[in-house]
Structure 1
Amino acid sequence: MTSQTVPPAGGVVPHINVEGAGDASAFYQKAFGARELSRAPAQDGKRLMHCHLVLNGGSLMLSDTFPEFGVVGQPSTSHTLHLDVDDVDAWWSRAVAAGATVTLALEQQFWGARYGKLRDPFGVNWSLSPKA
């Protein structure tokens, strides 16, 4: 990938910091069919300052943590990235096969939607449901 700037897709664009952003990008490509548009490596040659993915039609920005600049790794406990998808069972199976952990089984919920929650290996919470 290049360090070329690509405008983000979507009104609100999540930007997450994880330990191992390059590995997270590879995981999101495998688990959720993301496509990496660009990346900018850090000066240390090991971490990423920036990575731009397109996932389910929207942008997701990610970078490594940089404790030396006050950006420390903290697993997600108060937020979830949600995906409305065309075939929720296929998306769910692919994410679980890639290594996501089920935190709420994918099933019909009391509000009428088929919905479930996952946690990825980088501590990010995800929820999935079918497009309305």
Structure 2
Amino acid sequence: MSDDPATQGPSSGVTPHLTIPGRGGEAAIAFYSRAFGAKELHRHMAEDGERLMHAHLLINGSSVMINDEFPEYSGEQNIEPRGVTLHLQVDDADEWWARALLADAVPVMPMADQFWGDRYGKVRDPFGHCWSIGGPIKG
């Protein structure tokens, strides 16, 4: 198997697969690229040419899959993400935090030094998904 992530499938282990409300998948790819440095590996549009059927992103070395919602397959419409936080363990939490806020993420828990030894905070992306950002305390 190739070492090039662009030719590989999802990383081993658990790979999050995010359903983006409505037809926000392409906007989500742009947001994750700006906020978290996502690299787009694959994108497949639905037969209607308007909805994102599947995209494979690489964020901080890990695979993340996304798609627009498809009520005809899931029976659900106007989905609302809840109950899950995606965690990014990074080298410089403040840098990643600032980049996420510049890309229009909304702070949920302020970035601060935590008792377990990380700089840590949480943001919500424009699509309703919660992301925590943590890294070593500098200094």
Superimposed CA distance per residue, residues 71-126 of structure 1 (whole angstroms, 9 cap, x where no aligned partner): 53433221100000011111000000000000000001233321100000000000
Alpha-carbon contact 2:118-2:136 (below 8 Å) kept: no
Q: In the TM superposition, what are the counterparts of 1:43-62 in structure 2 within 5 Å?
A: 43-62=47-66
Q: Residue 131 and residue 109 in structure 1: after superposition, are their counterparts in 2 closer, same or farther (change >3 A)? A: closer
Q: Normalized against structure 1, the TM-score is what?
A: 0.90
Unaligned ranges ≥5, structure 2: 1-5
Q: Which residue of 1 aligns with 2:122?
A: 117
SS of the residue aligned with 1:122? Answer: coil
CA distance in 2, matches of 1:71, 1:10: 29
Alpha-carbon contact 1:5-1:38 (below 8 Å) kept: no
CA distance in 2, matches of 1:125, 1:102: 10
Q: Percent identity?
A: 50
Letter in 1 for 2:79: Q
Q: Which residue of 2 aligns with 1:42?
A: 46
Alpha-carbon contact 1:54-1:60 (below 8 Å) kept: yes
Which protein shows a greater Rg?
A: 2
Letter in 2 for 1:18: I
Unaligned ranges ≥5, structure 1: none
| 1:63 and 2:62 are equivalent in the alignment | no
Q: Which runs of 4 or more aligned residues in structure 1 lie more than 6 Å from their structure 2 counterparts after TM superposition?
A: none
Tell me the CA shift for residue 8 of structure 1: 1.1
Q: Normalized against structure 2, the TM-score is what?
A: 0.86
| Aligned pairs, number | 129
CA distance in 2, matches of 1:62, 1:131: 29
| 1:7 and 2:26 are equivalent in the alignment | no
Alpha-carbon contact 1:34-1:55 (below 8 Å) kept: yes
- C-alpha RMSD over aligned residues: 1.8
